[in-house]
Every structure is written in C-alpha cells, then in structure tokens.
C-alpha cells in the first residue's frame, strides 16, 4: 500500500486535509437553499463510503509496504474494527450537529467555533495517548489557534444585530459538535498499527481503518439523521419521499461533499505515520481557516461589517496562520 516516507510529504497531505475539510461545506450551499441539510446528509455519507472503497482498492492495494486492503481487513481483530466503527459513529453525531449549526449560523461561525473546539481538545487528547513533537511549540501553536477562535466569536457577535435567538442556537450546536468531534479521531487512531510499514497482527492500517470508520458513519446515520428528519432543529419534519424528490445534480453534489471530506480524512490518517496523530489532526483542523475564508470572501457572510469587525477578522486569520506554522515546526 502507499505510505508517506517523509515528514515533508506528511505535511503536504495535512495541507490537503485542511483544504478538503474546510471546503466540503460549500457543497451543501451548492445543493440549493430549498434542499434541507438532513436530505443533503444522506448523499454526503454515501460519498464518504464510496471514497473509502475507491481508495482501499487503489492506493491501499499497491506497493510492497504494509498489508493490502483485503488481507488487512481479513486479519483485523474485532476490538480494532469496533474502535474504528465507533470513531465513525461519534464523528457522525458531531458532524450532523455541525451541519445543523452551519445551516443556522453560517460557515464563518460554525466552523471556527465547532471545529476550533475540536482542534484544541483533539490535539490534547491525541498527544496524551501518542506524544510526538515538541510539546512547548505544539501547545503554543494551539494557544494561538484558540485565540483566533475567540476573536472570530467576538467579530460575529459585533456583526450580528438580528436573529439573536437563532444565532445562540447555532453557536450552542457548534460547541456541542466540537466537543464530540474532538473524540472521534482517537478511536480511529487506537485501532491502527503504530508502524504502517510492518503493522502488528490484528491491527488496522490506514485504508482499512478509514473503511470501517465509513461503515460506522453510514450505519449510525440511519439513527441520527432519521431522528433529525422526524424532529428537525428547524422547519417541518421530513420523510424519505422528500429525499426522492431531489434532482440528480442535488444528489451528486452531496456525494461530492462526502468524497471531498473523506479525501481529507484519508490523507490525515496516512500522514499520522510520520507526523504523529496529534500534529496530523491539528494541521488538518486548520480547515477552520479555509472555511472562514470561504464564508467571508465567497459567501459574503460578513457583508457590510464595520471597520472594527473587519480588523478582528484580519487578526483571526493572522493568529490562525501563526498557530498552524507552529504546529508544523513542532513536528519538524
């Protein structure tokens, strides 16, 4: 199977993760304002599963290092499969909350708050279990990113003058999503071998871990998303008849969103072999910066903001970039 051989390549894969995780949310907006996110989400999770299979039978089945995709699945112990599966379940719960927050509060708020909290807690949790990189530099970078999150929240509060009830709901959903999202990566990481080239017996390698993770996402979606359709956060209850009314373009857009997100997940897991799980996860969650750029400059979510708000947004971007640079340096 394909395995990154250098730290530099691992960092490049983390940057790809950052771009993918920060950009997939655009597909929800492209699906259309009348297409509810609960309906969009069925196609999204299908895209996650499809990509895990495509990657497993391509990059996961070539080369001489590690174990190929199918042999790796067949030798895996049930406990490791369960951990990867539970990682998918936890991620799905958190991501549904994040998508709901994004629909209410916008990308420029939901991502910095939700994913920012996930970044801070997730880096700490993953570093405790698999310490790799200079801890002083690593946590200094993390502190800068937390500062960026706080600045973004202040900017949004100053800019938002209407719909305060909805805004609070969006922020609360983002916080809940962030706490749950900080946990899923550790479950997937614990299912995997520490050495991808010569993996321990019974452990998963990146491609099989992502596959069982995707299974967890899809299976749990029949519970989480179905409940959300019947008791939505906003709007009228939905049925599967509503899903069938979607056009081919709408369904393909949702599938594309899942493929984009899982491209990022797969690259992050692969990069962890050289960068460590804490740094790989932390750099990937720089997606917050990418999502904020989309929200501010493309979707105009801060349109009409005064000079103070614009200055705060600039400070947020600078703090985030500095924090991410420190994360890279910590691993080097």
pLDDT digit string, tens, across residues 10-40: 999 999 999 998 898 899 888 887 898 899 9
What pLDDT score was predicted for residue 279? 92
Q: What is the rounded CA–CA span in Å between residue 238 and residue 319?
A: 41
Q: Is 277 among the domain residues?
A: yes
pTM: 0.88
Residues near 103 by Cβ (< 8 Å), separated by ≥ 6?
28, 37, 234
Q: Give the residue, 174 or 265, on which the prediction is more confident.
A: 265
pLDDT range class, residue 114, cuts 50, 70, 90 = confident
Q: Is 241 among the domain residues?
A: yes
Q: Is 2 among the domain residues?
A: no
Per-residue model confidence as pLDDT tens digits over 70-107: 999 999 999 999 999 999 999 999 988 887 787 777 66
Residue with tokens 């499969």: 81
Percent of the chain with pLDDT over 90: 62
Per-residue model confidence as pLDDT tens digits over 227-270: 999 988 778 999 999 999 999 999 999 999 999 999 999 999 99
Q: In which domain, by residue range, is 258 found?
A: 7-331
**What are the tokens at 308?**
């103070």
What pLDDT score was predicted for residue 25? 83
Q: What is the rounded CA–CA span in Å between residue 221 and residue 179?
A: 19
Per-residue model confidence as pLDDT tens digits over 281-308: 988 887 777 877 887 887 777 777 888 9
Comparing CA positions, the residue from 103, 45, 41, 48 lying closest to residue 238 is 41
What pLDDT score was predicted for residue 163? 43
Percent of the chain with pLDDT over 70: 96
**What are the tokens at 110?**
């939901």
Q: Give the residue, 156 or 243, on which the prediction is more confident.
A: 243
Q: Is 77 among the domain residues?
A: yes
Q: What is the rounded CA–CA span in Å between residue 262 and residue 260?
A: 6
Mean pLDDT of the residues in the chain: 89
Q: What is the number of domains present in the chain?
A: 1
What pLDDT score was predicted for residue 166? 46
Q: Is 272 among the domain residues?
A: yes
Distance of CA 259 to the CA centre of its chain: 12
Q: What is the rounded CA–CA span in Å between residue 176 and residue 193?
A: 30
Q: Is 245 among the domain residues?
A: yes
Distance of CA 111 to the CA centre of its chain: 10
Q: Is 244 among the domain residues?
A: yes
pLDDT above 70 for 200 = yes
Residue 161, helix vs strand vs coil: coil
Q: What is the rounded CA–CA span in Å between residue 297 and residue 22?
A: 14
Distance of CA 70 to the CA centre of its chain: 26
Packing angle, helices 164-190 and 78-105, rounded to 10: 160
Asked if 316 and 120 count as a contact pair (C-beta separation under 8 A), the reply is no
**What are the tokens at 9?**
């390549």
b/e code 79-107 from CB counts within 10 Å (16+ = b): ebbebbbbbbbbbbbbbbbbbbbbbbbbb
Per-residue model confidence as pLDDT tens digits over 201-231: 999 999 999 999 999 999 999 999 999 999 8
Distance of CA 241 to the CA centre of its chain: 29
Q: Is 1 among the domain residues?
A: no
């Amino acid at each position: 199977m394909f395995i990154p051989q250098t730290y530099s390549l691992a960092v490049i894969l983390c940057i790809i993760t950052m771009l993918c995780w920060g950009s997939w949310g655009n597909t929800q907006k492209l699906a259309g304002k009348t297409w509810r996110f609960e309906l969009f989400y069925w196609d999204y999770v299908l895209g996650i599963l499809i990509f895990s299979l495509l990657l497993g039978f391509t990059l996961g089945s070539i080369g001489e290092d590690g174990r190929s995709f199918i042999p790796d699945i067949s030798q895996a112990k049930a406990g490791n499969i369960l951990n990867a599966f539970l990682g998918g379940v936890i991620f799905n719960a958190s991501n549904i909350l994040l998508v709901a927050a994004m629909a209410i509060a916008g990308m420029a708020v939901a991502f910095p708050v939700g994913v920012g909290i996930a970044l801070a807690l997730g880096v700490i949790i993953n570093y405790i279990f698999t310490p790799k990189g200079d801890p002083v530099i690593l946590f200094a970078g993390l502190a800068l990113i937390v500062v960026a999150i706080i600045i973004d929240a202040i900017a949004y509060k100053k800019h938002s003058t209407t719909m305060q009830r909805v805004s609070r709901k969006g922020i609360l959903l983002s916080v809940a999503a962030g706490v749950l999202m900080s946990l899923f990566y550790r479950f997937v990481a614990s299912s995997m071998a520490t050495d991808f080239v010569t993996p321990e017996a019974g452990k998963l390698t990146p491609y099989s871990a992502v596959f069982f993770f995707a299974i967890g996402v899809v299976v749990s979606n029949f519970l989480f998303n179905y409940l959300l359709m019947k008791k939505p956060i906003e709007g009228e209850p939905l049925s599967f008849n509503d899903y069938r009314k979607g056009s081919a373009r709408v369904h393909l857009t949702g599938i594309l969103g899942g493929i984009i997100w899982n491209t990022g997940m797969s690259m992050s897991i692969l990069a962890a072999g050289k960068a460590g799980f804490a740094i790989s996860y932390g750099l990937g969650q720089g997606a917050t910066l990418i999502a904020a750029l989309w929200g501010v400059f493309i979707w105009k979510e801060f349109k009409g903001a005064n000079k103070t708000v614009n200055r705060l947004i600039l400070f947020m971007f600078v703090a985030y970039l500095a924090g991410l640079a420190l994360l890279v340096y910590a691993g080097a």
